[in-house]
Amino acid sequence: MIPIPQTSENTNKEMSKMDKTHIPMEQTSHISQTQSKETNEHTISLEELFIKYTVDPDKGRTAEEIETAKLNFGENTFSKPKKDFVGLKFFKIYFQSFNILLTIASFMSFTIYLLNNKLILNLYLSFTIIIVCLLNTLMEFYQEYKAAEIIKGFNTLVPQKARVIRNGVEEEIFASEIVVGDILLFKLGEKVGADCRLMYCNELKVNNSSITGESVPVLKDTEISRSDVLHASNLVFSGNEVVSGEGKGIVIKVGNNTILGKIANLTVNKKSEKSQLTEEINDYVKKLGCIAFITSFIFYIIALINGFTFVDNLSFCIGVFIAFVPQGLPATVTILLVIAAKRMASKNVLVKDLRAVETLGSISLLASDKTGTLTKGKMACNTLWINESSYSILKYKSDSKETKSKKDKNERYLEIQNDIQSENISNLDSNTTSTIKKEECDALALESINLNVKNLKELIKICCLCNNAKVNNKNKIVGDPTETALMNFGLDYMNKISDLVMDISRIRENKLGEIPFSSETKLHVVVYEEEENFIVYMKGAPERILNYCSYRRFNDSDLKIN
């Protein structure tokens, strides 16, 4: 019996585009309150629900009822956000306060050239100012265009196919064809295609992190619930992933009316507010424009009194006005914002609106939920502790131009951390750092497995056998996030030890009993029959496991726990 290897959430390999699906708590609360007023399906009996939607729970919808449901409740698709014409959007960005002032300055500079063709520098200045304005606008336009693609991230949460009962027969349909009143089926590894009231469930647990931000799987049931919609135990939502068990439900909301649809609308259609920096720049432009105009007018009067010609007088006044305008300021501000956005992108954070970066300088404390926002909401084994030594499990990134398939073969390598003991690896000192090359990492992985092969085998067996995660028909491991992480770790190293695959496959067929993990016991226990003996595999919180242990394994010895 060995404690679970330390797990941690993977940070995004790509920029968090859904930032992707999760929204601030106040917006989630708003959705919950609004939905509670509109939805009472979780508070009434199933019989009342079947009458409300005029559906036979055994036969499901008929062809005629499907068309009627589409007309009454809509289709199971997200409406696309209204898009401005590209030219109009560019026009709006261009004619912001500072660009207006620069454009006036450019026009005046060009006017000076028209009045006196010898002043060719004014022509160059006019074109330069316009080019600066255009480049400034293009940078901001491109940044907003990339962020506008955020709505596509919601499509990854909704399954492409779904299983329903129609005319008394189970069918597989496109998720977009689901209608209110459909009887929807889902099992381990599948995603729910619409908001449903549960009719039946068997040990059903779903991952609801995309909506609530909680990464812990939620156990569902069919009982009437009096809690709010988001926490109702008898409801599952569009985009929920089934991590355990199976279920059947009647569809109560589709498309934009689902919780996920409301989140999508809030995310995409949220009105942008002016930042403090934008307000200050606008105020600065107004004051600067007034000062420039007044000063130019004063110089015009002085020049007029001193008998200058009209052309010279006007040219001089325009020059004074242009001198007041800091032509490089907008470009400087935009470039700095883009640089900040790129730095954030390197940290896997997508800047949806470039203006949001403006407030970063005034932030002293940033509070954010992390599941599904700053992470992918997936778990991975991070550290392995065995024989009183600590190992970090890495995924090596090659700098060479390999194909993706080749990169996938270089999945994880064991790297010896600073705290590894010198008696185990004699050729490393205590100051070993984490900057190890691929060849060194390969050698360390092989050596560490050779040194600890017996105990490592036992650890891998526990990870794979005390585990309910499964490999689906797409060769993807599905189940509880923690168990998926442990299964990934076990499968990664199982093939490196001879006969371990056959050994685990043989034992797995002789499962006798199980005590599922719960938040109260903090333990998961399974019993197998192995070579006419009974063997117990256990994983869970270390302090709980130690209560059941009298000895600990160190290399080939069993040492008594004091």
Tokens (6 digits) for 309 = 């010609």
Residue 306 Cα to chain centre, angstroms: 69
Q: Dihedral through CA 281, CA 286, CA 291, CA 292, nearest 10?
A: 80
Distances (CA, A) of 115 to 109, 297, 311, 314, 452: 10, 19, 6, 9, 88
Question: 211 in a domain, yes or no?
Answer: yes
Top-confidence residue, 193 or 474: 193
Q: Which domain holds residue 298?
A: 17-337
DSSP-assigned beta bridge partners for residue 164: 171, 184
Question: 50 in a domain, yes or no?
Answer: yes
Q: What is the rounded distance in angstroms from the CA atom of residue 392 to the CA atom of residue 347? A: 21
Question: 134 in a domain, yes or no?
Answer: yes
Top-confidence residue, 181 or 146: 181
Overall domain count for the chain? 1
Q: What is the rounded distance in angstroms from the CA atom of residue 419 to the CA atom of residue 107? A: 68
**127-138 tens-digit pLDDT:** 888 888 888 788
The DSSP string of 4-15 is PPEEEEEEPSS-
The answer on pLDDT for 178 being more than 90 is yes
Average pLDDT of 285-297?
A: 86
Q: What are phi and psi of 508, to 5 degrees?
A: -60, -25
Average pLDDT of 211-227?
A: 83
**409-432 tens-digit pLDDT:** 333 333 333 333 333 333 333 333
Lay out the sheet containing 533-540: strands in order across.
Answer: 511-515, 523-530, 533-540
The answer on pLDDT for 356 being more than 60 is yes
Output the average pLDDT for the chain: 74
Q: What is the pLDDT of residue 425?
A: 31
Top-confidence residue, 519 or 120: 120
Yes or no: say if 349 and 146 are a contact pair by the CB < 8 Å rule.
no
Q: Dihedral through CA 27, CA 28, CA 30, CA 31, nearest 10?
A: 120
**3-class DSSP state of 183:** strand
Q: What is the rounded distance in angstroms from the CA atom of residue 178 to the CA atom of residue 176? A: 6
Top-confidence residue, 446 or 381: 381
Distances (CA, A) of 41 to 34, 38, 76, 243, 267: 14, 9, 18, 24, 26
Write the CB contacts of 498 (distance below 8 Å, at least 6 apart in sequence): none
Question: 114 in a domain, yes or no?
Answer: yes
Beta-carbon count within 10 A of 61 CB: 25
Beta-carbon count within 10 A of 538 CB: 20
Q: What is the pLDDT of residue 536?
A: 92
Position 170 confidence tier, pLDDT thresholds 50, 70, 90: very high
**Three-state SS letters, 150-170:** HHHHHHCCCCCEEEEEECCEE
Count CA atoms within 13 Å of residue 294 on its CB side: 6
- Residue 56 sits in a domain whose CATH number is 2.70.150.10
Beta-carbon count within 10 A of 33 CB: 12
In terms of Cβ atoms closer than 10 Å to its own Cβ (0-12, 13-18, 19+), residue 309 is exposed
Question: 234 in a domain, yes or no?
Answer: yes
Question: 368 in a domain, yes or no?
Answer: no
Question: 38 in a domain, yes or no?
Answer: yes
H or E, element range at 172? strand 169-174
The answer on pLDDT for 179 being more than 90 is yes
Q: What is the rounded distance in angstroms from the CA atom of residue 201 to the CA atom of residue 181? A: 18
**300-354 tens-digit pLDDT:** 888 888 888 777 777 778 778 878 877 677 777 777 877 887 787 777 676 766 6
Tokens (6 digits) for 454 = 């017996």
Average pLDDT of 517-542?
A: 87
CA-based max dimension of the chain = 116
Q: What is the rounded distance in angstroms from the CA atom of residue 174 to the CA atom of residue 161? A: 4
Count CA atoms within 13 Å of residue 202 on its CB side: 6
Q: What is the rounded distance in angstroms from the CA atom of residue 407 to the CA atom of residue 427? A: 29
Yes or no: say if 410 and 37 are a contact pair by the CB < 8 Å rule.
no
H or E, element range at 515? strand 511-515
Question: 253 in a domain, yes or no?
Answer: yes
Yes or no: say if 379 and 484 are a contact pair by the CB < 8 Å rule.
yes
Residue 485 Cα to chain centre, angstroms: 18
Q: What is the pLDDT of residue 147?
A: 56
DSSP-assigned beta bridge partners for residue 206: 218, 242
